[in-house]
Amino acid sequence: MQTVLSLNNVSKSYGSIQALKNVSFEVPEGAVFGLLGPNGSGKTTMLSIILDILKADIGSFEWFNQPGSPATRKKIGSLLETPNFYHYLSAVDNLKITQAINGRGNNESIDQALGQVKLLERKKSKFSSFSLGMKQRLAIGAALLGNPDVLLFDEPTNGLDPVGIAEIRELIKELSQQGKTIIMASHLLDEVEKVCTHVAIMKRGVLITAGPVEEVLAQEDIIEVAAQDLTALQLALKDFPGISSIKHNEHSVSVFFPAGAAQPEAINQYCFNHGVVINQLIPRKKSLETKFFELTND
């Protein structure tokens, strides 16, 4: 698969604050790539660098394996801040202004973009009559002018209610199905887990991990086990072969194994042989949220 973007040892400081430290990763074509990190971890700085808004101190990046080629810029649509749409103008008139400013696409592409964000039927409605979700969809529509192959979004669901968030999630999935590569910075781990194929986790300017979501999450197997007497259960499981760690929860015990090593049947048999009858045994996937807090907590 082709690489759409590669970063090589990118660093950036603002005076004494080092916002990015030797960051390298690759974004494959067709990925929905989530950039995750606590506030101030460098996500916006990174998006600004790859969009040529800021210059890296050292390091380099390449779009489509072509260093610094202006022709490739037309293939990239972005939404870093909500555009200043005119409240008293319609959706279509607002996009005409955006198009005149950024020179992407034509009238046909405005209708195409409005169709992609499901606002074609409301194209003549005033911006002021739109819900927050619709306003954000129009902003994404502006990024879609000229039908770019790659889309960059900074916190695309910021400030939206759950319905608006779900709308944007569906839209991102649809754009991905149309073959677009999407790079998005987000705080919403649950959202990232629902839509992203790949993820990079940042902390204070350092890239902690990057790769396909399932690889980032699948470094261990977790089996949640419960029995009448949790203390006896934990004691029995303590010496179970191959276990990497064990955690006592309120109503169960979580047993951790290296990826691919957990055998629920063997656990059941082992506990029974040690006088503990299991009343619940559930293989669990680690959530991105758990992984994120593990990686970014001090």
Binding mask 167-206 for ligand ATP (x = CB under 6 A): ----------------------------------------
- Residue with smaller CB distance to ligand ATP, 17 or 58: 17
- Residue with smaller CB distance to ligand ATP, 185 or 271: 185
Site residues for ligand ATP, window 30-89 (CB under 6 A)? Answer: 37, 39-45
- Residue with smaller CB distance to ligand ATP, 159 or 258: 159
Using an 8 Å Cβ cutoff, are 225 and 252 in contact?
Answer: yes
- What interhelical angle do 132-144 and 91-102 show, nearest 10? 30
CA distance 87 to 37: 33
Query: Residue 14 interacts with ligand ATP (CB under 6 A)?
Result: yes
- Residue with smaller CB distance to ligand ATP, 154 or 193: 154
Q: Which of 270, 52, 240 is nearest to 152 (CA)?
A: 52
Minimum CB separation of residue 82 from ligand ATP in Å reads: 14
Query: Residue 19 interacts with ligand ATP (CB under 6 A)?
Result: yes
Q: Which of 17, 53, 58, 282 binds ligand ATP (CB under 6 A)?
A: 17
- For 38, residues 6+ apart whose C-beta sits below 8 A from its C-beta are 203, 296
CA distance 49 to 25: 14
In a 10 Å sphere around its CB, with 0-12 CB exposed, 13-18 middle and 19+ buried, how is residue 256 labelled?
middle
Minimum CB separation of residue 185 from ligand ATP in Å reads: 6
Minimum CB separation of residue 40 from ligand ATP in Å reads: 4
CA distance 183 to 149: 11
The residues binding ligand ATP (CB under 6 A) are 14, 17, 19, 37, 39-45
